[in-house]
Structure 1
């Protein structure tokens, strides 16, 4: 699994700090990966941030707190759309696609 350097996440530091605070508040036990355009050179300023939440104690179990996190993200000062999905609810083919390249945001 190619885990990329955290600096590969194209998100300004002020928004990264807000994101980390919200993740720690709503998903303290979870592992959170960023994937998609914001970790490649194909991103642009308005690109969405794609996050996948993983339950490290059991990857087949859904993570609690995602709905609260999504609501907090909408209410936050982060000016881009942050899409959050649960690893346990994704098909294996999508797992493989995410594993091609990701950045660990929390975990």
Structure 2
């Protein structure tokens, strides 16, 4: 079975209430990072059917390792800090097929 997209990317945007017992990706600028990735994929001509799709997700249940993003169909999990990290994921993994080892959660 082939995937509809070459890469289908999900950014956790889950927001927990202040004082929650687990961290929240939304508190780590996840919305802005998802929007940045979507913009960059379009700018690089990577967006569309058969190519790359950037989506929002609710809780991906890896809160303590977050913020998190997962790239399918490979199932590669990343964490990131800022736009530079997201840029590296977009250019290295999504555009050139090379996993960003330093940002991988499961090494």
Fold match (TM-score > 0.5): no
TM-score scaled by structure 2? Answer: 0.32
